[in-house]
Chains A and B, each alone.
Chain A
Amino acid sequence: MKRRNFLQTAGAAALVTTLPAPMLRARTAEEFHIAAILAFSGAYGLIGNDMRKGAELAVAKRGGMVLGKPIRFTWEDDETKPQPAVQKASRLLAEGAQMMFGAVSSASTLALQSLSTQRKVPHLVTISADDAITKRDGAPYSFRTSNTLGMEVNMSMEFVKSRGLKKIYAVTADYQATRSGFEQFAELAKAAGVEIVGNDYAPLGNRDFSVIIDKMARSDADGIAVMATGNDGITFVKQAAQIDLGKEKVIFGPVLQDDVFAAATGPAALGVNSGVRYHYSVDNPANKAFVEAYREAHGAFPSSFAGEAYDGLSWWLDVVEETDSWDVDAWVEAFANSVYEDSVEGRKEMRACDHQASQVGLWGEVVRGEAPMPELTMKITEIFPAERLFDSC
């Protein structure tokens, strides 16, 4: 190859790799390729697998097509870490993926969000709850259709007020998102005249809460706020039940329990209260159709993770279809101003200011389920309207 040809080829290659992804694929879209970066192993492996089931049903519902082209997923495991998430997503974008879906952990999601902004590629978030993901005038191509931790903390305080609790002892998993959650909760408590009689920060992944539980039992608190989820939340509830903490005090948390966590906790979870992201029992036609399809496909009721993934992706693909265009900016513009009346949770409205879906908040208590429901299930006890959970845009 002559030197001039080599330089031209190399220059063109360099240009292509630095162009925003939409410019590369505008003329060549033979399929709608979704780069799905989820956790299929590690701490959140279960969540990623459930999200995949929900997302696949959302695509199956529309015959596997959007804009007249087949939808193709590429599933990648980020191992619940930001670095593999970005590496794998970058490769898929280089292969022409039209959008990113994921991740599970907020750290991975924030990493994907930076990539989305840099490459101008739409990014759909349906589970990560860190408030930083949907900041005002934040990432322009990134959207969240699921709950924020902030709205779940607001729900917790609404619950405290409705139950008439006056003194709260809290335990907070020691990492950024839950620390912020506790600070928000403490401010709300102060405004509501509720006293925080104690708070202990426990290391993330803590396996023994017995000393903290003992301090809680000896305090005069009437409510126990648990600012932790997943393994930490399950471990706390299991160990609290061993000294009957829940008999004397009301145990609750913004994301402490759902059907998956209740099954892992066992009977110790009975009576625990929590915010719920999605629930199969929500009574509307869209949810009934989804639950029926999910049970037929997987022989079980959908989890929060599956429900949120199904809902978010269905909404996004509907909006893309309505644009009748392969222009990425048209999709983003349309989604930023869209309302989803067919949500499995009722009605959702995308906020143009922060790309966060405004929605109702579900609150529930763990109760015994009757067949064919799971043995332990969330009973939705309260549905908070969006106006009580979100600040105005």
Chain B
Amino acid sequence: MSTIIIGLSLSFLLFLLSAGLTLIFGMLGVINFAHGALYMLGAYTSFQIVQMTGSFWLGLLFAPVIIAGLGALIEILALKQVYSRDHIFQLLLTFGLILVIDDATKLIWGLDYKQVPTPDFLSGPVSLFGSQISSYRLFVIGFGAAVSFGLFVLLDRSKWGMIIRAASSDPDMARTLGIDVNRVRTGVFALGSYLAALGGVIAAPLVPIELGMGFSVIIDCFIVVIIGGLGNIRGAIFASLLLGMTRAAGYTYATEWVELLTFALLIGTLMFRPAGLFSYKGRTA
């Protein structure tokens, strides 16, 4: 049972890390290589807020908002110029953003490791099913589930979601209906950046904060996005659960096979459902 609980915490952490990436790809068609850098920036910003206020919760509240603002600026100043061009320009641009964000982070915070302690009341373990489970892990499960539900409602059930989907699938038609497509795109990129930073803040008490942390998560994010179906939030939730549970079972019974299992899932998906398990075509078939 403890394996399932830990698997859920792995899954929702993965979802928080990859949700922004899948949202930006799904709604804007942009493969955002800088997603990991924004995740890292979220962790550093929360560190700064914790240093100044002593509160993890203020970091959780404000760091993603700050990074969302930065994301909006990036979209207005840089990304907007390349929407009409080939995908390669978007890739190059977001790759360039990684270098800029990395160097800016180095200049502001230096090279040394930073750390954010676990909030006091979540720092101890809880006895569940004969195992000691970290309270913080339980919080990650609850928080991740809430965020995934919120995103689902926002994108699939709200008027805002309908506007976003309309602007994504037929921007010209959306414009004729009076929708400011440019503003919608800026908002979507800001929301994706918000989610990347949220992942960084949530991960901060679990890992050291350092310059390479963005790079180390981006591969996992892409695995989730590819398995779930490019740009599909429901797919991202399912892929995160699949990957998290596979890893939890792998670490329990065959540690050395975990990476192999992970990439086997990825290769299997690419072979049999190249557009992902929850691609639009897949769902309607």
Contact = CB atoms under 8 A, between A and B. Distances in A.
Interface string B187-212: 00000000000000001011111111
Contacts of A45: 111, 211
B207 A231 contact: yes
Contact of A264 (B114, B125, B136): B114
B84 to A, nearest CB: 34
A238 B208 contact: yes
Contact of B112 (A46, A203, A211, A212): A46
B117 A211 contact: no
Nearest to A248: B132
A90 interface: no
B118 interface: yes
A31 B132 CA distance: 62
Nearest to A261: B113
Contacts of A42: 212
Contact of A217 (B113, B131, B205): B131
Nearest to B211: A45
Contacts of B169: none
Task: Give chain B's interface residue range (CB within 8 Å of chain A).
Answer: 35 or more
A207 interface: yes
Contacts of B210: 46, 231, 264
Interface in A249-275: 260-261, 263-268
A243 B134 contact: yes
Contacts of B124: 242, 244
A243 B118 CA distance: 12
Interface string A217-232: 1100000000000010
B148 interface: no
B134 A201 contact: no
Contacts of A234: 113, 207-208
A208 B203 CA distance: 10
Nearest to B132: A243
Contact of A210 (B134, B203, B256): B134
B53 interface: no
A266 B2 CA distance: 26
A43 interface: yes
Contact of A46 (B113, B135, B255): B113
A114 interface: no
B3 interface: yes
Contacts of B216: 205, 207
A173 B250 CA distance: 16
Interface string B240-258: 0000000110011001101
A203 B259 contact: yes
Contact of A211 (B6, B13, B205): B6
Given A212-B251, A215-B252, A244-B125, A207 B111 contact: no
A260 B6 contact: no
B115 A211 contact: no
Most buried by B among A42, A260, A264, A265: A264
A264 B2 CA distance: 28
Contact of B131 (A41, A207, A218): A218
Interface in B133-158: 133-137
B206 A235 contact: yes
A265 B208 CA distance: 7
Given A200-B255, A266-B115, A211 B248 contact: yes
A214 B2 contact: yes
B91 interface: no
A210 B6 contact: yes
A229 B208 CA distance: 12
Contacts of A214: 2-3, 6, 131-133
Contacts of B208: 231, 234-235, 238, 264-265
B119 to A, nearest CB: 11
B50 to A, nearest CB: 11
Given A208-B10, A208-B13, A46 B207 contact: no
Given A42-B212, A46-B113, A211-B252, A242 B207 contact: no
A131 interface: no
Given A210-B6, A238-B206, A260 B112 contact: yes
A338 interface: no
A247 B276 CA distance: 45
B123 A263 contact: no
Given A212-B251, A218-B131, A243-B125, A263 B13 contact: no
A205 B248 CA distance: 17
Contacts of A46: 111-113, 210
Interface string A73-90: 000000000000000000
Contacts of A201: 255-256
A49 interface: yes
B76 interface: no
Contacts of B3: 211, 214
Nearest to B252: A211
Interface in B9-25: 9-10, 13
B174 interface: no
B256 A207 contact: no
Given A210-B6, A211-B252, A235-B208, A242 B136 contact: yes
19 contacts: A46-B112, A200-B251, A208-B206, A211-B3, A214-B6, A215-B251, A231-B207, A234-B113, A235-B207, A238-B115, A242-B124, A242-B125, A242-B137, A244-B124, A264-B113, A264-B115, A265-B208, A266-B116, A268-B117
Q: Which A-B residue pairs are the 10 nearest by beta carbons?
A: A264-B113, A211-B251, A242-B134, A243-B125, A200-B255, A243-B132, A234-B208, A266-B115, A46-B111, A264-B208
Given A239-B134, A243-B132, A266-B116, 17 more contacts: A45-B111, A45-B211, A46-B111, A200-B255, A202-B251, A210-B134, A212-B255, A217-B131, A217-B132, A231-B208, A238-B115, A243-B134, A244-B125, A263-B112, A264-B115, A264-B208, A265-B208
